[in-house]
């Protein structure tokens, strides 16, 4: 019984991590799409912040830190008004 519980816990963590990893590229694509539409109307400071968050999100994704990646990308989407 204990063995099954541990196995279920490990499987749950794996599934959640995989799901988060899969959402990072989708979020990056959303940022890119929104950025291409809204770039002209943004201030230089806001544009720099969004680009920085996009770069940070991609770096976090590549490092396996998917929660941090999604957080940075959602912040970028929020600045773009696309969330």
Look up the domain containing 26 and give its range. 2-80
d(CA 61, CA 67): 8
- pLDDT score at 18: 44
Q: Are 74 and 26 in contact (CB under 8 A)?
A: no
- pLDDT score at 83: 67
Q: How many helices (H) and strands (E) does the chain have?
A: 3, 0
In the chain, which ranges are E strands? none
The low-confidence residues of the chain, meaning pLDDT below 70, are 1-21, 83
Tally of domains in the chain: 1
């Amino acid at each position: 019984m204990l063995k099954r519980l541990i196995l279920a816990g490990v499987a749950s963590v794996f599934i959640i991590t995989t799901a988060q990893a899969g959402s990072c590229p989708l979020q990056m694509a959303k940022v890119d799409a929104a950025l291409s539409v809204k770039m002209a109307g943004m201030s230089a400071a806001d544009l720099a912040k969004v680009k920085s968050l996009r770069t940070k999100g991609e770096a976090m994704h590549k490092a396996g830190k998917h929660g941090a990646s999604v957080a940075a990308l959602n912040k970028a989407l929020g600045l773009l008004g696309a969330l």
